[in-house]
Amino acid sequence: MANVLVAGVGMHPTGRFSDKSYRDLATVAAVAAVEDAGLSWDHIGVLFASHTRQGISAGQQVAHDLGLAGIPVVNVENACASGTTAIHEAATWIEAGRVDVALVVGFEKMPKGVISGLGEPGSYEDRMGLNVMPALYGLMAQKHMHRYGTTVQQMALVSVKNHQNGVLNPYAQYRKAVTLEEVLQSRMVADPLTLLQCCPTSDGAAAVVLVNGSTVLPNPLRAVRWAGSAVGTMRFDSDESEVSHRTALAAYEAASIGPEDIELVECHDAFTIGEILHYEELGLCPEGEGGRFIEEGHTWLNGKVPVNPSGGLQSRGHPLGMTGVAQVYEAVVQMRGEAGDRQLAHWPKTAVTHTQGYAGVAAVGVLQR
């Protein structure tokens, strides 16, 4: 099977851009990624477009704006895991020898407020008011607190850490540090999660260029290997934690790594309890120890496994279709030593990206240099 490399990455800042369309955002990110790879546009064999609510054939609209006429365009929707899924699928095209170069662009423009329109209109969950993302995480948080003694302070530390990281990221939506008190005293959204423990809804775009390992690149040393990935859904007897754990193990196996190899993680901190759970699911710490893991400092920029140096969903923002792609952007610039003020002292050799979303979907990618 062909080796897949990430040859180029690009982003549009995340935030609110009422004067720009999703096509404008996606175009900026895609042009930046292709220029970063140093490849000519006629090398691109396929465009994967990750988005959840931009309408029919949004990827074809973006391809048109990029001047990419005539190539196959695949639109990918997998809730919050759309971006990771799109890269996973694009890598499959290269591994299968279908194309040598794939452009993946993730983008989204989102309405303000709690995400609505989840699930089937008129279903039990819809009519009963159960499809509330903060509430689903609120249930997870109460359970974790009850079972393992995780504290609201430990959860709030996730927000403090990620906002602090976001201050250093020019692409982040919120470049403002917050204190533990501010996080805990912000208004309650779904107990015990306060507003500053919930990611914002945002506009943004990110892009990556994947290539077959035999492709001649102008800067081969800047390429990072897409070592393995997996996409999963929940089983009849499982929950969100089980699917993330199982999907991570599948990705690690595909990449021939173990959790002890991981030196950087970008994970799905849509809500602070999520990041604590993901420490456990991704194997960074034993089950039940996630709260103590952040409290002991292991996941901060100078810790043994920095998590969400980009600022994560909490601070960088969470345009749904963008997130999984933006995570790879962060991993790649950190692995290249190009992350500027937030550059990790030790340039990671192995990084993991993880997203999970509505209806029990999870996706995990492994990058290596």
- CA separation for the pair 244, 326 (Å, rounded): 19
Question: Which residue is catalytic, options 80, 198, 199, 267?
Answer: 80
Active site residue 80: yes
Nearer to other proteins, 135 or 217 (CB): 135
Applying CB under 8 A, which part among 17-25, 184-192, 283-291, 350-358 lies near other proteins?
A: 184-192
Place of tokens 């099977």: 1
x/- mask, other proteins, residues 215-254, rule CB under 8 A, reads --------------------xxx-----------------
Active site residue 318: yes
- CA separation for the pair 219, 8 (Å, rounded): 10
- CA separation for the pair 14, 36 (Å, rounded): 19
Residues binding other proteins: what is the number (CB under 8 A)? 32
Nearer to other proteins, 127 or 346 (CB): 127
Cα first-last separation, the chain:
18
Instruction: Find the binder of other proteins among 38, 176, 179, 191 (CB under 8 A).
Output: 191
Residue 122 CB, nearest distance to other proteins (Å)?
A: 7
Which phi and psi angles does 253 have, rounded to 5°?
-65, -40
Which phi and psi angles does 189 have, rounded to 5°?
-110, -50
Query: According to the 3-state scheme, what is the secondary structure of 172-196?
Result: CCCCCCCCHHHHHHCCEEECCEEHH
Instruction: Find the binder of other proteins among 2, 31, 74, 132 (CB under 8 A).
Output: 132
Answer for the pair 321, 283: CB distance below 8 angstroms, yes or no: no
x/- mask, other proteins, residues 140-159, rule CB under 8 A, reads xxxx--x-------------
Residue 131 is a binding residue for other proteins (CB under 8 A):
yes
Instruction: Find the binder of other proteins among 55, 70, 113, 218 (CB under 8 A).
Output: 113
- CA separation for the pair 30, 13 (Å, rounded): 13
The DSSP letter of residue 153 is H
* Angle (nearest 5°) at CA 96 between 365 and 262: 20
Residue 144 CB, nearest distance to other proteins (Å)?
A: 9
Nearer to other proteins, 123 or 302 (CB): 123
Active site positions, annotated: 80, 318
* Site residues for other proteins per CB under 8 A: 113-116, 122-125, 127-132, 134-135, 138-143, 146, 187-191, 193, 235-237
